[in-house]
Amino acid sequence: MRCYYLSHMKISVSENAKREVQKKCHDGEGEILFREVFNQEAFESNLVHLHETIVRPHSTIGYHLHEGNEEIYYLTEGEGIMTVDGDERRVRPGDAIITHSGSKHGLVNNTDQDLKLLVFECLYKQ
């Protein structure tokens, strides 16, 4: 990741960002595209990362457990089905979902359009 540091401000430059295609994310289906906006080195807090994530049509982030951290999904484009601890809900742009330590979650894009979201992860204080 390439960041510019101006005083206390950090700017992540999109064209220089780390990008990754992940197939079967958390044992899900299809492929997910990640762009690392900021990694843990950029933060002075317990934040681990900020990713821009694209769940491709008919792909999923598999149902998985979180331990010792929290994760927030903020949807910016598209629709899908979010499951947290067995509770399933349709999610749309502007919706935000938080998963606490000890909880399980997964996301399904069951449409023909990309599902775009921002993913924030934060560790619990040690």
Average pLDDT over every residue of 82-102: 96
Determine the Cα–Cα distance for residues 9 and 11; give it in Å rounded to an integer. Answer: 7
User: In the chain, what are the domains?
Assistant: 3-123 (2.60.120.10)
101-119-52 Cα angle (round to 5): 160
pTM of the predicted model as reported, rounded to 2 decimal places: 0.84
Indicate the pLDDT class of residue 43, thresholds 50, 70 and 90. confident
Whether residue 9 is predicted with pLDDT greater than 50 in this model: the reply is yes
Residue with more model confidence, 5 or 41: 41
Indicate the pLDDT class of residue 105, thresholds 50, 70 and 90. very high
Q: What is the mean pLDDT of the chain?
A: 88
CA distances (Å), 35 to each of 10, 12, 87, 100, in order? 16, 11, 28, 23
